[in-house]
């Protein structure tokens, strides 16, 4: 009986564990079928059909509508089937009045400036919990994204339930594609007349809950999915892009004249390059291009100049042409501006989704789509990433991470507490590196009214009555250093009588602080790579207390460090003035932190947080 009892208990515990790991499913997918008929020119006819069974009321709103989108100039779309299957088996086809077509087109039938995408929305009739909605559609390419090339990929997550998932790709054997599947069964064979096929299948009837909360670094090859590509290398992707992009960077008389005007008075090539970069970054606003192959082909430069607008490809092409007009070498470079920090094993065209420039004479990458990033720096989203040079490709090339020593911040707080417990003072911020770039961008966009109300609104959000003024240096220059300061007055900082306590903490949230920095690594459940960066932070405080206040205790000095993080703080009371100095140094070398690295940082961070929670006790 004892053995039976133990067995029953073990089964119960296992069942409870599975229940804890199971997500609260709102819906499930009985079937998802996709097929691609790929032609030698890189076009394809793709057919999709999927169903969704609604399990909870919360899923109803989203399940009632499905959308199918396509580029009108490069594709055509057909809805093949759409219906609601009731829980009792009845089928209700979507009536024609339940289709809504939205078309982006130019005025008078002309080509649109931004997007030619057409979206068909399907409203399923009479959907209730327990019902299943089904839709099937076909998208036919008119023009290939890259002539003679085709690539496709998809991911499927284990926290969703799939009963029958199938993907089939038929292709010419002369294409000789690279392919892989992860977690899926695979079948390959001939499809007749010089064609072959691959089919992948997967089912996931019992979904498992995802514990991941940070998606700042993502590796798709750790997920269930597939990849198929006729590109044999990443260099071929760069070459395919360059074949149509580089001719558009030709130097014309208009561009040569413009480049001369921009660099007027400058003779040093690097300073000329800076002037051209800053002109493009601050003059050409961002405007997307979702018109057929416009997703991978830049616009003609006269359009970009006439409208002072363009997407990343247009920025990079224009800057390359302007630099060439002054005899400065550059090339365009393809990169992922999202969460991918390494290239996939199978070369996929859309693993790179952004275009920047590389200036080999200065060994500099620049991204002129960022209107606030100084020459010689990159936005965080494209730092420490693999990059594909369109000309002179080199395997393994990466953009640099922001040098840790350049990311510095000093916060100086001066406060004087009156006898009634009110406080007045100032907070001054001095920054260099990425934070300074962000602060300058914030300051440039701030209206005079917002500046006047800034301090008052900050106190209001804290539930405090207070006001003050903001002083800031001119933010217009594209440089990576900045200074700003707030003067303030606020009520009820301390109790005017009796015993009390207060934290030594920035009185205004004008910038990130040490507490915020260490809290970012304090989560013990971080078990994936995360985006990160190093830096140096200093906080200095001077707090003058009322004459009749007796200080009973102040926080203790501390010095704690390991190879991943260091912190030291000192607190001194001299007469009525309490001073404090805190220093946090983060030597993180790149933009990706492994879980083990963060775990080591957490050992220091926990002690830092304990110190920051200590209070000044007074009577």
The answer to whether the CB of 469 falls within 8 A of the CB of 453 is no
Q: What three-state secondary structure class fits 602?
A: helix
pLDDT, tens digit (0-9, with 9 covering 90-100), for 87-143? 999 999 999 999 999 888 766 666 777 788 899 999 999 999 999 999 999 999 999
Measured distance CA(468)–CA(149) in Å, rounded:
61
Q: Identify the DSSP state of 420.
A: T
Is the pLDDT reported for residue 454 higher than 60? Answer: yes
What is the chain's Cα-based Rg?
30
The answer to whether the CB of 502 falls within 8 A of the CB of 555 is no
The helix or strand, by DSSP H or E, that contains position 257, with its residue range, turns out to be: helix 253-262
> Nearest CA to 80 among 140, 129, 132, 164?
140
The answer to whether the CB of 491 falls within 8 A of the CB of 422 is yes
Measured distance CA(266)–CA(182) in Å, rounded:
55
Measured distance CA(255)–CA(305) in Å, rounded:
9
pLDDT, tens digit (0-9, with 9 covering 90-100), for 550-596? 999 999 999 999 999 999 999 999 999 999 999 999 999 999 999 99
The CATH architecture one would assign to domain 236-400 is Roll (3.10)
Reported as a pLDDT band with limits 50, 70 and 90, residue 15 is very low
Q: What three-state secondary structure class fits 18?
A: helix
pLDDT, tens digit (0-9, with 9 covering 90-100), for 298-338? 999 999 999 999 999 999 999 999 999 999 999 999 999 99
pLDDT, tens digit (0-9, with 9 covering 90-100), for 343-395? 999 999 989 999 999 999 999 999 999 999 999 999 999 999 999 999 999 99
> Nearest CA to 537 among 579, 582, 507, 569?
582
* CATH class of the 405-618 domain in this structure: mainly beta
Identify any residues that bridge with 488 across adjacent strands, giving them in sequence order: 425, 468
* CA distances from residue 44 to 74, 100, 440 in whole angstroms, order as listed: 11, 25, 47
Q: Phi/psi class of residue 317: alpha, beta or left (left: φ > 0; alpha: ψ in -120 to 50)?
A: alpha
Widest distance between CA atoms in the chain: 97
The answer to whether the CB of 611 falls within 8 A of the CB of 556 is yes
Q: Where are the beta strands (DSSP E) in 87-223?
A: 91-93, 99-103, 117-123, 132-141, 151-156, 162-172, 178-182, 185-192, 195-204
Q: How many other CB atoms are there within 10 angstroms of residue 23's CB atom?
A: 13
> Nearest CA to 379 among 357, 403, 402, 352?
402
Is the pLDDT reported for residue 146 higher than 90? Answer: yes
Beta carbons within 8 Å of 520's beta carbon, 6+ residues apart: none
Instruction: Answer with the residue of higher pLDDT: 9 or 439.
Output: 439
pLDDT, tens digit (0-9, with 9 covering 90-100), for 257-276? 999 999 999 999 999 999 99
Measured distance CA(603)–CA(619) in Å, rounded:
34
DSSP letters of 527-578?
-S-EE---EEEEEEEEEEPPTT--EEE-PPPEEEE-SS-EEEEEEEEETTEE
Number of helices and strands in the chain (H, E): 11, 34
Weakest mean pLDDT among 8-12, 137-141, 199-203, 585-589:
8-12
Q: How many other CB atoms are there within 10 angstroms of residue 407's CB atom?
A: 21
Weakest mean pLDDT among 224-228, 231-235, 445-449:
445-449
Instruction: Answer with the residue of higher pLDDT: 279 or 212.
Output: 279
CA 423 from chain center: how many Å?
40
Measured distance CA(26)–CA(161) in Å, rounded:
10
For tokens 């993180």, the residue is 588
The whole-number pLDDT of residue 522 equals 86
Measured distance CA(316)–CA(297) in Å, rounded:
12
The whole-number pLDDT of residue 599 equals 95
* CA distances from residue 592 to 436, 448, 521, 536 in whole angstroms, order as listed: 21, 38, 13, 18
Measured distance CA(376)–CA(541) in Å, rounded:
34
Measured distance CA(129)–CA(519) in Å, rounded:
42
- Stretch 61-76: mean pLDDT: 93
The pair of structure tokens assigned to 7 is 């067995």
Q: Is the dihedral of CA 458, 464, 468, 471 positive or negative?
A: negative
Fold held by 27-214: Immunoglobulin-like (2.60.40)
Query: 30 burial class (0-12, 13-18, 19+ CB within 10 angstroms)?
Result: middle
The domain spans of the chain are 27-214, 236-400, 405-618
Characterize 588-613 residue by residue with b for buried, 16 or more Cβ atoms within 10 angstroms of its Cβ, and e for exposed. Answer: bebbbbeeebbebbbebbebbeebbe
> Nearest CA to 166 among 39, 50, 28?
50
Measured distance CA(424)–CA(512) in Å, rounded:
21
pLDDT, tens digit (0-9, with 9 covering 90-100), for 395-416? 999 999 988 788 999 999 999 9
Measured distance CA(148)–CA(153) in Å, rounded:
18
Reported as a pLDDT band with limits 50, 70 and 90, residue 523 is confident
Q: How many other CB atoms are there within 10 angstroms of residue 67's CB atom?
A: 11
Is the pLDDT reported for residue 8 higher than 60? Answer: no
The answer to whether the CB of 604 falls within 8 A of the CB of 562 is yes
Measured distance CA(346)–CA(233) in Å, rounded:
8
The answer to whether the CB of 171 falls within 8 A of the CB of 177 is yes
Measured distance CA(264)–CA(284) in Å, rounded:
19
DSSP letters of 313-338?
HHHHHHHHHHHHHTT---EEEEE--S
Measured distance CA(365)–CA(387) in Å, rounded:
10
91-93 and 32-38: which strand pairing?
Answer: unpaired
CA-based end-to-end distance of the chain = 67
């Amino acid at each position: 009986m004892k053995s039976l009892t133990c067995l029953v208990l073990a089964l119960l515990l296992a069942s409870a564990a599975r229940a804890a790991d199971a997500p609260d499913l709102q819906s499930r997918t009985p079937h998802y079928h996709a097929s691609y008929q790929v032609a030698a020119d890189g076009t394809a006819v793709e057919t999709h059909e999927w169903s969704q069974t609604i399990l909870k009321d919360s899923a109803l709103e989203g399940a009632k509508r499905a959308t199918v989108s396509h580029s009108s100039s490069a594709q055509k779309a057909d809805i093949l089937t759409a219906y609601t299957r009731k829980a009792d088996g009845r089928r209700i086809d979507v009536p024609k009045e339940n289709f809504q077509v939205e078309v982006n087109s130019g005025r008078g039938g002309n080509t649109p400036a931004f997007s030619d995408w057409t979206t068909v929305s399907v409203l399923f009739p009479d959907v209730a919990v327990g019902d299943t909605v089904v839709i099937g559609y076909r998208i036919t390419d008119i023009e290939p994204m890259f002539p003679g090339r085709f690539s496709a990929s998809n991911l499927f997550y284990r926290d969703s339930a799939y009963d029958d998932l199938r993907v089939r790709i038929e292709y010419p054997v002369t294409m000789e594609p690279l392919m892989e599947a992860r977690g899926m069964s695979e079948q390959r064979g001939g499809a007749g007349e010089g064609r072959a096929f691959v089919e992948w299948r997967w089912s996931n009837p019992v979904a498992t809950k995802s514990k991941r909360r940070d998606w700042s670094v993502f590796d798709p090859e750790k997920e269930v999915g597939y990849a198929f590509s006729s590109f044999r290398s990443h260099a071929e992707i760069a070459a395919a892009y360059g074949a149509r992009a580089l001719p558009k960077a030709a130097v014309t008389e208009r561009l040569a004249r413009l480049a001369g005007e921009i660099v007027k008075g400058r003779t040093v090539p690097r300073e000329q390059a800076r002037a051209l970069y800053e002109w493009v970054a601050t003059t050409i606003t961002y405007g997307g291009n979702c018109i057929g192959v416009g997703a991978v082909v830049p616009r003609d430069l006269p359009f970009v100049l006439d409208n002072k607008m363009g997407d990343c490809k247009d920025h990079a092409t224009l800057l390359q042409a302007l630099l060439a007009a002054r005899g400065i070498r550059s090339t365009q470079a393809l990169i992922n501006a999202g969460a991918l920090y390494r290239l996939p094993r199978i070369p996929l065209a859309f693993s790179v989704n952004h275009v920047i420039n590389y200036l080999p004479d200065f060994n500099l990458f620049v991204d002129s789509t960022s209107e606030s990033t100084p020459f010689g720096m990159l936005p965080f989203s494209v730092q420490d990433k693999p990059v594909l040079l369109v000309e002179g490709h080199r395997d393994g090339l990466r953009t640099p991470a922001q040098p840790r020593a350049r990311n510095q911040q000093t916060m100086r707080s001066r406060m004087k507490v009156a006898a009634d417990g009110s406080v007045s003072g100032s907070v001054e911020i001095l920054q260099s590196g990425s934070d300074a770039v962000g602060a300058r961008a914030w300051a440039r966009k701030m209206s005079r009214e917002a500046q006047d109300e800034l301090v008052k609104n900050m106190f209001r959000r804290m539930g405090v009555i207070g006001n003050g003024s903001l002083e800031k240096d001119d933010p217009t220059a594209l440089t990576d250093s900045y200074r700003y300061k707030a003067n303030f007055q606020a009520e009820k900082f301390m109790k005017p009588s009796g015993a009390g306590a207060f934290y030594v903490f920035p009185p205004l949230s004008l910038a990130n602080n040490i507490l915020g920095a260490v809290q970012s690594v304090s989560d013990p459940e971080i078990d994936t790579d995360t985006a990160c960066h190093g830096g140096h932070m200093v906080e200095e405080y001077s707090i003058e207390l009322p004459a009749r206040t007796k200080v009973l205790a102040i926080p203790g000095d501390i010095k704690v460090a390991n190879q991943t993080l260091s912190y030291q703080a000192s607190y001194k009371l001299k007469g009525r003035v309490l001073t404090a100095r805190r220093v946090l140094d983060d030597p993180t070398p790149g933009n990706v932190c492994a879980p083990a690295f963060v775990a080591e940082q957490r050992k220091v961070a926990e002690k830092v947080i304990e110190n920051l929670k200590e209070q000044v006790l007074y009577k």
